[in-house]
A and B are shown apart, each in its own frame.
Chain A
Amino acid sequence: MSRAAPGPEDRHAGGPGTDGAGAGCAEAVVDTARPAGRVLAALAGLREPVVWILLAIAFFTAISGKPVDGVLMLLVAVGLAWDAGRRALRHSDIPGAARAAGAAGAAGAPASRAGGRRRVILASALLAGGAAYAGVVGSFSRYSWPVTACIIVLGTIVVLIGWHGPIRARPEGGRLPVAGALAWVAVLVAGCLWELGALLEQPSITTDSYAHPTISTLTDPVLAASPGRAVVLLGWLALGWYLVER
């Protein structure tokens, strides 16, 4: 498995606005020769919708009685904002160097030459590791420190992998149909709002409601037993692997 050479953010460094739709690109050109320009660049991360979404998740998670989750989300949001600001500074300071580095990386990107046998062995090892992880972690009680540590460690590893870029090069792809993309956004936002509505209808934010169950409440019976937890953990791992491969 080879790490892909420069991610989109690196390409942006070589030419602002090269991302077709431009969504999610905070590396705006800022005149860092002036102090105000540096401040604006440092705050570039706050223009990222993802940062605000993570801050909102951190807030709602913390007030719903999960301070560990809230702090972790807050850390990632601040880290992302800082990273985007840092890249905005570097972007306007050394565009030529970044472009050269990007081009060199692209030229030296190792093609994926892993043989079929190697891939099978890797897939088998991941499958066995995932099953062992799900079995062991699923055997721990929910909300215990052992399961918390296992989830945090794996989550941190996966996020760090993603932070460094995609693990293999993927075709750029064209622009998405706007209407179709908006349909997805509408459905997913509607789902989130429905869940939020149920959460706010509870007697208190930390007390479950039979009349207005959240998804967490509905999944409690499944996650009450060890086999159920192991199966759900396997699904969570599979989803994580799918996302890392994107």
Chain B
Amino acid sequence: MSSHDVTIAGYLVVLALIVLLQVLATRTRAPIPSLGDMLTRAMRSRTGRVGVLVAWAWIGLHFFAR
């Protein structure tokens, strides 16, 4: 397994864990909040709200802007 494969496997593991947590949160009674609940909680304060929206704007800047 090359370094390339290991790196991509790492991303896939993280993605799988995100999906797993979301499924556990929404489809079972496990005491796990959904990602939406986490975002809502993070965005209850002004700094949290602005921080999350800036992170979103940064994604656009990072992938498209110079």
B27 CB–A CB distance under 8 Å: no
What 1/0 mask marks residues of chain B from 1 to 17 whose CB sits below 8 Å from any chain A CB? 01110011011001001
Task: Assess the A232–B63 pair: CB atoms within 8 A.
Answer: yes
Which of B3, B4, B55, B60 is close to A154, meaning CB atoms less than 8 Å apart? B60
Task: Please tell me the size bucket of the interface on B.
Answer: 35 or more
How many A-B Cβ pairs are below 8 Å? 199
A229 CB–B CB distance under 8 Å: yes
Which of chain B's residues have a CB closer than 8 A to the CB of A201?
A: 3
A157–B18 CA distance with the chains assembled, in angstroms: 29
Q: Which of B9-54 contact A (CB under 8 A)?
A: 10-11, 14, 17-18, 21, 25, 30-33, 35-54
A residues adjacent to B (C-beta < 8 A): 7-9, 12, 19, 21, 23-26, 45, 48, 50-51, 53-54, 57, 61, 66, 68-69, 72-73, 76, 80, 83-84, 87, 137, 142-145, 147-148, 151-152, 154-156, 158-159, 161-163, 165-166, 170, 173, 176-177, 179-181, 183-184, 187-188, 190-191, 194-195, 198, 201, 210-213, 215-216, 218-219, 223, 229, 232-233, 236, 239-240, 243-244, 246
